[in-house]
Amino acid sequence: MLESRARAATMVGVGVLVACLVATTGCSSDRNRNSGSILGSFAKRIASRAMGSSEADPCTFLAADEAERYVGRLTTPPYRSDDGRASTSGEECVYRGPNGHELTIKPSGRGGAMAGRVLTDVPHALGAVLAKGGATGMDTMANRVMQQGPAGPWDNATWIPGGSLFVTKGDAMIVIDMTGASGKKADALEIAKLIVPRIGHPLSYDGARAVALVPKPFEHPAKACDLVPRAAVEAAVGALSKSPANSDDGLGCTYTVQSSDGTRTYAVEFNWEDGAKNYNMLKNGMSSMSGLIPGADMMGKLDSIPSSPEAGQMIGALMKLAGGGDMSKASGAATKVGFKTDTALAGPWDSAALLHGTQLIAVKHDVFVGMGLETADYDSAKALLAAICSRIR
């Protein structure tokens, strides 16, 4: 499984799997991220091997007022960060606006030319990795998704829809991450036109000093299952058939219930920091891929499937197929609500959404909460999500 800056991105899994099953695009597993996130994470990962660090403060390439056009009025001054976490020595700069909208700039002072060449090999490298999991031919998809930018004040520009722009000038590279903002290529190119001429001529600013002004993250337990008392969980989903199970890294908790329809699993994952960005990324991710990958636009069509008993049976069969055909497991939420999307759910959260009947996602105080609904009852899952968010204060 490829690494990602946001563990939250894994929650796109079942939704993409459904699209794969319907459109026969051949995804490798039910935990694959959306293709934009896969490519963005993979491209950053392999490009970083060739990139050196930047001697310049990463916040000296784009001014605060310039960033506000893309994320809104900044809620905190631009600050240095490492992998989404504020750090006085961070190699990226975060520009955060209201509702978790943010863009990130990551410069490299050397190795950019080599990194640019490495990026051209991303489709082949990604295809080889995914082929090991049984998903052959993904290099063709990656070639279709990755786009070379137009001519500009750079030597090369590569765009990953969803999305990130990699621009090189001489031996320097700058990554402009728009996944938490508009996700638009046009916006990233506009920013690149501002910052590339500043390579070697940075603005005067101290992004390290701004770190002290960043709001402190939510104080969370080391193990996700310790956040909500068992009694509150059972009030939402029913009596648990086994003890809540923490993931190895402590970021996830799985609750299991035996129902008359079979085993129901409520798998919850958290991103304790930078959660608003990840929420925006997931909510908007699939729409940015529509038309670029065969079958990506199928998710919109799935939303229109009516929630009739007949449709419920069909959806239930599909979800069991997605889960490996295990008949001991209950059919998931999509059986009741269809493959619909609702981005205006009301509850004790800042924002929450149902994505294509297969995932619930929410953000509260910059904490991301995601829940797969493959075998979950929808109403119970929403009640569990409310119980979780009520504990995030």
For residue 117, CA distances in Å to 128, 162, 168, 199 come to 18, 22, 10, 20
**What pLDDT score was predicted for residue 32?**
31
Answering whether pTM is above 0.85, one says no
Rounded Cα–Cα distance for residues 12 and 38 (Å): 11
Which of 14-28, 135-149, 312-326: highest mean pLDDT? 135-149
Handedness of CA 67, 109, 7, 133 (dihedral sign): positive
* Structure confidence at residue 9 as a pLDDT band (50, 70, 90): very low
| Backbone region of residue 81 per phi and psi (left: phi > 0; alpha: psi in -120 to 50; beta: other values) | beta
Instruction: Tell me which residue of 126, 101, 109 sits closest to 44, measured CA to CA.
Output: 126
* Structure confidence at residue 147 as a pLDDT band (50, 70, 90): confident
Phi, psi of 165 (to 5 degrees): -115, 125
Rounded Cα–Cα distance for residues 319 and 228 (Å): 28
Q: Between these two residues, 12 and 189, which has the higher pLDDT value?
A: 189
Exposed, middle or buried, 75 (CB in 10 Å: 0-12/13-18/19+)? middle
**What pLDDT score was predicted for residue 283?**
75
Which of 23-27, 183-187, 261-265, 380-384: highest mean pLDDT? 380-384
Q: Between these two residues, 94 and 53, which has the higher pLDDT value?
A: 94
Rg (alpha carbons) of the chain, rounded to whole number: 21
**What pLDDT score was predicted for residue 286?**
54
Average pLDDT over residues 107-123: 69
pLDDT per position as a tens digit, 223-282: 999 999 999 999 999 999 999 999 999 999 999 999 998 999 999 999 998 888 888 888
**What pLDDT score was predicted for residue 195?**
96
Rounded Cα–Cα distance for residues 83 and 277 (Å): 12
* Structure confidence at residue 149 as a pLDDT band (50, 70, 90): confident
pLDDT over 70 at 363, yes or no: yes
Q: What's the whole-number average pLDDT of the chain?
A: 78
* Structure confidence at residue 75 as a pLDDT band (50, 70, 90): very high
Average pLDDT over residues 205-209: 97
Which residues lie closer than 8 Å to 375 by C-beta, 6 or more apart?
Answer: 262, 263, 264, 265, 319, 323, 329, 330, 331, 332
**What pLDDT score was predicted for residue 7?**
37
